[in-house]
Amino acid sequence: MDAVAELASSICKALSARGVVVDEHLVLAGAWLHDVGRSRSQGVDHASLGGRLLREQGVAEEVCRVVERHTGGGIDAMEAAALGLPVADYTPQTIEEKVVCVADKLVNGTKRQKASDEVAYLRSQGLERAAAKVASLCQEIEDLVARPLSQLE
Ligand SMILES: [Fe+2]
């Protein structure tokens, strides 16, 4: 299985075990499709492009939103405008959107990495706001599963 989808599935199971209601099918669909926009762009716009491509194909709206809200730790409308993206709030809001976003940050290529590795990388690129958002989102999910995300199989 795709590494992001695999980790996203593990997070779903850990959340369910803690009594958090999460739609694993939606998470898996979003995880498998999250980078579909890379067929058009390797830039940060691949997320919004992916969402648009899927919407044009009639894919369920909640899957499209998981896809377009997976970059950074979420991009708000002001940041979207500054980046030249279609202006919208791409902040992950539902638990499913957050799980895919976090799983994506914890996979580098095909390998798992710690949240702190991704945060350090973003800081090294001068992306302080993104680093803070990723740290916060990872912490939120870690608090919900009540154990280190790095321990999830
Ligand atoms: Fe991506």
Computed over every residue of the chain, the mean pLDDT equals: 96
Q: Is the dihedral of CA 67, 72, 77, 82 positive or negative?
A: negative
Ligand 1 center–CA 35 separation, angstroms: 5
Amino acid present at 98: K
Kindly give the distance from the C-alpha atom of residue 70 to the centroid of ligand 1, in angstroms, as a whole number: 6
Which amino acid does the sequence have at 89? D
Question: With 80 as the cut, is the pLDDT of residue 8 above it?
Answer: yes
What is the percent of the chain where pLDDT is above 90?
Answer: 97
Per-residue pLDDT at 39 exceeds 90: yes
Q: How far is the CA of 31 from the centre of ligand 1 (A)?
A: 10
pTM score, two decimals? 0.96
Q: What's the CA-to-centroid distance between 121 and ligand 1, angstroms?
A: 15
Average pLDDT over residues 102-116: 95
Residue 6 CB partners (closer than 8 Å, separation 6+): none
Could you tell me if 2 and 135 are in contact, meaning their C-beta atoms sit under 8 angstroms apart? no
Give CA 93 to chain center in angstroms. Answer: 11
The predicted structure's pLDDT at residue 123? 96
Q: Residue 153: its pLDDT value, please?
A: 82
Residue 25 CB neighbours (<10 A): 11
- Residue 42 Cα to ligand 1 middle (Å): 8
Ligand 1: centre distance to CA 58 (Å): 21
What was the pLDDT predicted at 132? 97
State in Å: Cα 17 to ligand 1 middle. Answer: 28
**What is the pLDDT, as a whole number, of residue 72?**
87
Length of the chain measured in residues: 153
Taking the centre of ligand 1 as the mean of its atom positions, its distance from the CA of residue 61, in whole angstroms, is: 18
- Which among 24, 20, 21 has a CA at the least distance from the CA of 103? 24
Q: Residue 32's pLDDT band (boundaries 50, 70, 90)?
A: very high
Q: Is the pLDDT of residue 1 over 80?
A: no
Geometric angle at alpha carbon 101, from 152 and 124, rounded to 5°: 95
**Closest of 53, 66, 132, 130 to residue 96, by C-alpha:** 66
